[in-house]
Each structure stands twice: as structure tokens, then as C-alpha cells.
Chains A and B, each alone.
Chain A
């Protein structure tokens, strides 16, 4: 079945700098790649997603890139702010199948 690896497990960046979180997946048939943000004590929420027919998607300060050949995708957060501190999860799935998550990255934004 699908296996999603996520790195790093913890990331600290200075406020205003950029943060990058990387994920790889094992099943070449996977074609949907969402990212979820979980703030402390809250439920995970979708922040951005990308489908396999697209190489990059951007929404204000966040962007996701997908390399299907290499089977990896990344989350980029620019101009980081204190409210970006959270745990971020990548995930992958294929048509009409379960969604498998990575182990998460705890992002700390340093003042």
C-alpha cells in the first residue's frame, strides 16, 4: 500500500524567513496530495492541495510543488509569521481510495 515519508520532523525558522517541508510517496498511482495544519489543541484543517495534473499551486504565502517522476511533493511557506507555528501533515491518495498521512512536521516560528 501507499507509504508517505515526511521530513523534517521538527523545523525552526526565524519569523519572516521561509519554511520548506518535504514528502515522498511510494505508490505511483497516487494522484491527490493535500496538506493539513494542526494548531495546538485543535483539529487538522486543509490548507492547500494539489492534483497530479498540476506541478505547482500557490495560495498567498503558501505553495505546493509536485514532482511525479521523483514521487515527491513539498510545502513552501514564505514570510513566516507566529501564527504559522503548528504541526503540518502531508498526505497522498489515489482515485476513490483512502488518504494516507505522513508523520507530521512541527514548525516553530522564532521571534
Chain B
């Protein structure tokens, strides 16, 4: 069954701890993305990757880090430097980035709560 899988679905962490959110896709897509969703703020781009071993910052990259060592995996680390990490995080993939991409396929999301 093809798709994009995020884990964990819910995550609680203490302030000052780094956390890593997993995102895996078996769609053979080149491009992967991380968005943050807050009420009334829409979907804000954190990082995106168009190809293995390459990634670019989005609009709100501060306090986050990513890696793209494999085509199917794009984990997001929320570091202690992120001022307001409590949010809903969505991972997505597309055949390629930008206009050639067509549809973005989203995972079910990970809800991070920092206590």
C-alpha cells in the first residue's frame, strides 16, 4: 500500500529537549517537505528537499533541522532552539518540486506538545 507515513502521531516532550519526527514515503517521489500547521496560520514551510543529500530552508526554518540520506526518508528534528515548538507537523512528498510536482501527498501529521 503506497503512501507517506509519519510517526509518532502524538508526542510529548519537556522544554529543552530535542525531538525527531519521522517521515517515510514509498511513492518513489523525489521531493519531500515539512510544514507546520497552527490555528489561523495555514501551512508554513519549514524545510524541503528536492533530491537526496540536498535540502533548502523554508520560511520558518529557525530551530529545526533535517536530513535526506535516503530518497524515502526525511526526518525533522525540533531543537531546543525552537521558541514555540508546540504545533501540528505535516510531512508531504511530490514527484518533483515546484510546478513539475503536481500533487502534494501529505502524511497524517504529528502533534507535538512541549510541556
Contacts and interface: CB of A to CB of B under 8 A. Distances in A.
Interface of A: 1, 6, 9, 31-32, 34, 36, 42-46, 49, 51, 89, 93-104
B1 interface: no
A96 B31 CA distance: 10
Contacts of B106: 43-45
B98 to A, nearest CB: 4
A95 B98 contact: yes
Nearest to B103: A46
Contacts of B98: 32, 93-99
Interface string B74-115: 000000000000000010000011111111101111000000
A6 B42 CA distance: 10
28 contacts: A6-B42, A34-B103, A36-B104, A43-B90, A43-B109, A45-B106, A46-B103, A46-B104, A89-B42, A93-B99, A94-B98, A95-B99, A96-B98, A97-B99, A98-B33, A98-B45, A98-B48, A98-B56, A98-B58, A99-B98, A99-B101, A99-B104, A101-B35, A101-B44, A101-B45, A103-B42, A104-B40, A104-B42
Contacts of B53: none
B110 to A, nearest CB: 12
Query: DSSP majority for the A interface?
Result: loop
A32 B43 contact: no
A46 B100 CA distance: 15
B10 to A, nearest CB: 13
Contact of A96 (B41, B43, B50, B58): B50
Contacts of A45: 106
B43 A101 contact: yes
B102 to A, nearest CB: 7
B40 to A, nearest CB: 6
Contacts of B48: 98
Given A32-B98, A95-B98, A96-B50, 9 more contacts: A9-B40, A43-B106, A43-B109, A45-B106, A46-B104, A93-B99, A93-B101, A94-B98, A98-B33
